[in-house]
């Protein structure tokens, strides 16, 4: 009887610790935040760069799993792929007029960040510019 009671108590403690650990992990996910949801280059005639701050506001490491863009004229790179809780990194967005081809006028594209944030697995940053004619570059 005493052994059975001791076994039941040990089993309950182990199960309770497991539930607490599992609940704690679920309650503390990473959370991405960006300083701006859009980047405005304005009128440009050459290659230009802008920086957006990416932060982890969660309590678990945030992993940037992929960065892509909607056009070859727009590229992005980040200083760190994994951000600890509270940490930030600069995302540098580049708009290359020459890669845009002969098109002039307004251009609207996007940069996409894919992350392990369960609520925002993909973040879109709008990129806008006005590509000037060759003679005005």
* Overall average pLDDT of the 114-123 stretch: 98
Integer angstrom CA distances of residue 16 from 8, 11, 13 = 12, 8, 5
pLDDT greater than 70 at residue 30: yes
**Of 53-62, 63-72, 128-137, which range is least confident?**
128-137
Biggest CA pair distance of the chain: 94
Tell me the whole-structure pTM to 2 decimals.
0.78
| Structural Rg of the chain based on CA atoms | 23
**Percent of the chain whose predicted confidence (pLDDT) is above 70:** 77
* Overall average pLDDT of the 88-97 stretch: 97
Residue of 77 and 24 predicted with greater confidence: 77
């Amino acid at each position: 009887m005493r052994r059975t009671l001791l076994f039941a108590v040990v089993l309950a403690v182990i199960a309770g610790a497991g539930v607490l650990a599992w609940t704690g992990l679920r309650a503390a996910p990473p959370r991405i935040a960006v300083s701006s949801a859009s980047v405005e280059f304005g009128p440009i005639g050459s290659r230009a760069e802008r920086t957006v701050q990416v932060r982890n506001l969660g309590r678990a490491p945030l992993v940037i799993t992929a960065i892509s863009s909607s056009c070859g004229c727009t590229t992005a790179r980040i200083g760190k792929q994994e951000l600890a809780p509270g940490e930030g990194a600069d995302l540098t967005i580049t708009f290359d007029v020459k890669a845009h081809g002969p098109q002039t006028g307004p251009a609207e594209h996007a940069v996409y960040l894919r992350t392990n944030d369960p609520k925002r697995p993909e973040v879109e940053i709008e990129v806008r510019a006005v590509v000037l004619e060759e003679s005005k570059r």
